Amino acid sequence: MSDTLVLRIASAADAPAIAATIAAAFTQYRGKLVPESNAFRETPEAIIDQLANGSSAIVAERNGTMIGCVMTEVLEGDLYFGRLAVQPEARGLGLARRLIAAVEDEARRRGLPGVRLGVRIALPANQRLFQSLGYREISREAHPGFDHPTSINMRKAL
């Protein structure tokens, strides 16, 4: 059997696998992020609703099994991505970079000038990954109820 990796735009039928992939990928952050990530509350129904209301998702499948995903939506004229998720057993293979490249390709296809993301201040390794791909900090913000920044907004011009 060949080992085939496919990246594609998701459909509503993918929502259960997307929710499961996000849950598996974000488990490493449980108890480490304050406030806790909303990713822990992601459900197939919420994803179906997001897909029906202008968001999209890119999924990565190996031999028909979802091993990664990322959610996207247009924000302030750019393509924003969030919920970048790679199954633990698929880490270290460059899949996050491939998913981000697919987001950038989608932004170009749509004629958008840039790509945006938000990353927690508490996750410096993630910040370094995004910086290595050309993303730059554009602002910081505090989650509701906090008097100090908890998140960094980043952007890459295309």
Q: Is 126 a member of any domain?
A: no
Give the residue from 143, 97, 94, 99 showing the smallest Cα distance to 118.
143
Dump pLDDT digits (tens) for 79-136. Answer: 999 999 999 999 999 999 999 999 999 999 999 999 999 999 999 999 999 999 999 9
- What's the domain range around 31? 5-115
pLDDT for 2 beyond 80: no
Q: Is 150 a member of any domain?
A: no
Dump pLDDT digits (tens) for 44-75. Answer: 999 999 999 999 999 999 999 999 999 999 99
CATH label of the domain that carries residue 87: 3.40.630.30
DSSP string, 105-156: HHHHHTT-SEEEEEEETT-HHHHHHHHHTT-EEEEEEPPTT-SS--EEEEEE
Q: Is 35 a member of any domain?
A: yes
**Cross-sheet strand order for the sheet of 56-62:** 5-9, 56-62, 65-75, 78-86, 114-120, 151-157, 136-141
Q: Is 92 a member of any domain?
A: yes
Q: Is 43 a member of any domain?
A: yes
Dump pLDDT digits (tens) for 5-35. Answer: 999 999 999 999 999 999 999 999 988 888 8
Q: Is 134 a member of any domain?
A: no
Q: Is 130 a member of any domain?
A: no
Q: Is 11 a member of any domain?
A: yes
| Number of domains observed in the structure of the chain | 1
